Homo-oligomer: A and B are copies of this chain.
Amino acid sequence: MKPRLLTPGPTPVPEETLLELAKPVFFHRSAEFRSILAETIQDMQYVFQTQNTVLALTASGTGGMEAAVVNTVPAQGKAILLIAGRWGERWRNICKSFGIEAVSVTVPYGQAVQPSQLREALAAHPDAHAVFATLSETSTGVSHDIAAFGQLVAPTPAVLVVDAISGLGAVPCKTDEWGIDVCVTGSQKALMLPPGLAYVAVSNKAWAKIDANPSARAFYFDLRKYRDKLKENDTPYTPAHTLIKAQRASLKRLRSEGIESVWARCALMARAARAAVAALKLELFAQQPSDSLTVIRVPEQIDGNAVLSKLEKQYGIKLANGQDSLKGKIWRLAHMGYIDQFDVLAAISALELVLLEMGYDRFPVGAGVAAAQQVFAQAWAA
């Protein structure tokens, strides 16, 4: 059976990048590595759409999130958290671990935090040091209007910190234009690499806050150390340098496609997936869906876990389950990174077949794939 990975991270990695990982290991304090790091950082600035400093951390995305928290918010400081799912909750949990006063703006799973809610929170808490948001809330498939958040935060003393881990490089995320002060991402989603690297883009407004932060709660995640070493195209601690070298290969692919084309392709796949969901008489879980993944509500009387298991065992198609309280209630299908429109088509085809097998017959056979194909054809004709 041919496996197809369509989970919202890790995602498939291009063959040329995998082959980079199989090359002999080289020394990390060398002209070779400095040149690779410089190139990778430059390409990441392109992906972030920023002139800000971009730092590479050897860590999961959560490590990048912790770095954003402990560097920008002093101990006992206050932060506004926009929470629409598990990843917004992660911001809150990190803040709590470091004694930060967390002002939570929460919406039910499946909904998005609205700019008006942030406006109210900022008015009520003018002393907040930072606003923590999520570009694409992967746990529910929700997208946030970061541009609007940026306009609200910019005139305040607070910095806007965005978890763009599962969105950057798949959906528009214009760090500079939108006023994102700290933008965090991870290597294992749209950046087409295995997990192990986090990237953090830091604005001048954020640096001013970081440099003025007297609290000593970071060593490994002290962003100032990374900034200082980056001046020599180096890192403060031994980096996962073979991953950085492989990252360069994936970013070369991304650059040659062009970021606008990548966004358009992910949007196309999202439209196709949503059309298929509608044709199969299924429902989207997210009210304001992200273009990086499609989250489908499991219909009543269908065993959601069994469907995922059959998709994988019978057809090699790997989708992700819901997490925690959403387990068995949603299916999550990613369309970003090295997942293309025909992978999405394969997933829809397999989903149709499994649904038929499970006795869910509210659609004519082929309705899902035909609906997706219609979207592809319209894009081709345009």
Contacts and interface: CB of A to CB of B under 8 A. Distances in A.
Nearest to A222: B97
Contacts of A12: 24-25
A218 B218 CA distance: 9
A186 to B, nearest CB: 7
Nearest to A219: B97
Given A217-B217, A220-B62, A22 B21 contact: yes
A79 to B, nearest CB: 14
A117 to B, nearest CB: 26
A28 interface: yes
A94 B219 contact: yes
Nearest to A236: B62
Contact of A28 (B3, B10, B58, B240): B10
Interface in A45-102: 58-63, 66, 93-94, 96-99
Interface string A2-38: 0101010111110000110111111111000000000
Contacts of A96: 216
Given A219-B98, A220-B66, A22 B24 contact: no
Interface stretch (A188-196, A252-260, A284-292): A188-196
A239 B24 contact: no
A221 interface: yes
A81 to B, nearest CB: 14
A237 interface: yes
A280 to B, nearest CB: 24
B98 A195 contact: no
A243 interface: yes
B97 A58 contact: no
A378 interface: no
A100 to B, nearest CB: 10
A141 to B, nearest CB: 17
A222 B60 CA distance: 14
Contacts of A227: none
A5 B28 contact: no
Given A12-B25, A24-B5, A195 B62 contact: no
A237 B62 contact: yes
Contacts of A186: 238
A312 to B, nearest CB: 9
Contacts of A238: 9-10, 60-62, 186, 188, 195
Shortest 10 CB-CB contacts between residues of A and residues of B: A196-B240, A22-B22, A21-B21, A97-B219, A194-B242, A60-B237, A62-B237, A18-B22, A66-B220, A60-B238
Interface of A: 3, 5, 7, 9-13, 18-19, 21-29, 58-63, 66, 93-94, 96-99, 186, 188, 194-196, 216-222, 237-243, 318, 320
11 contacts: A3-B24, A7-B27, A10-B26, A10-B27, A12-B24, A18-B22, A22-B22, A58-B58, A60-B237, A63-B237, A97-B216
